[in-house]
Amino acid sequence: MIVEELVPGAAGWQVIVAVATFLVGVHAYRKLSPFFAITWLGAGLLFGALWSGVAVRPEVSLLPVVVFYLSAAVTKGLVETRDRVRGNHLVHVVMTGVFGGVIALAVESAGRSAGWVLPDTGASAGGFSPGGVPWRVVAGWAVASTAFYGLYKLLDHVGLQRPAQTVLLFAAVPFLVRGVEAVNAAL
């Protein structure tokens, strides 16, 4: 059947993640600010590059920043239409983590079906596996999304000047990765 040929292979997956990263950059630049686009994508790509086992393929380094951004954008869209939670940073960060898990579940399931290379979340397999994805892997993505967005939001709201905010953000990412890996290993 012709539809079977629409399922992307390894090269197609690389192109999809690269295009998605570009689109995320365009959205961040135009809808938020150039500063936000540069710091979010820079810190996100650093996070992706340092996350367990990600040095193997470029699309593996790019994927975390796409998942984090998508979950944060969707959360913003949903939270801003509800008066009770509008402007609540804690709700925003927690929901970004939850939606990061939901988005990662779809990515992981499709990726495992099609044989695409995915980041190693550091979480162990076993237990409940929705759609063939161990729940610990989904939880690992949720932890990573929460931690990354939490750090970004924290530094954005403590009243720092932009240069200090940027330096602290990039300096904190390696420690954030270690923290996420430790939590995921304990799950």
The site for other proteins (CB under 8 A) is made up of 1, 3-4, 6-8, 16, 20, 23-24, 26-27, 30-31, 66, 70, 73-74, 77-78, 80-81, 99, 102-103, 105-110, 113-114, 130-133
Which residue, 74 or 94, has its beta carbon nearer to other proteins?
74
Which residue, 65 or 173, has its beta carbon nearer to other proteins?
65
> At its nearest, how many Å lie between other proteins and the CB of residue 116?
9
> At its nearest, how many Å lie between other proteins and the CB of residue 136?
15
> At its nearest, how many Å lie between other proteins and the CB of residue 44?
15
Which residue, 93 or 107, has its beta carbon nearer to other proteins?
107
> At its nearest, how many Å lie between other proteins and the CB of residue 133?
6
Contact 69, 144 (CB under 8 A): no
Q: How far is CA 56 from CA 11, 13, 51, 107, 120, in A?
A: 14, 15, 11, 18, 11
Q: Please tell me the distance from the alpha carbon of residue 113 to that of residue 129, in angstroms, as a whole number.
A: 14
Which residue, 7 or 125, has its beta carbon nearer to other proteins?
7
Angle at 73 between CA 138 and CA 36, to 5 degrees: 115
> At its nearest, how many Å lie between other proteins and the CB of residue 128?
12
Instruction: Copy the structure tokens of residue 66.
Output: 């796409």
Which residue, 82 or 178, has its beta carbon nearer to other proteins?
82
Q: How far is CA 124 from CA 1, 64, 138, in A?
A: 37, 18, 11
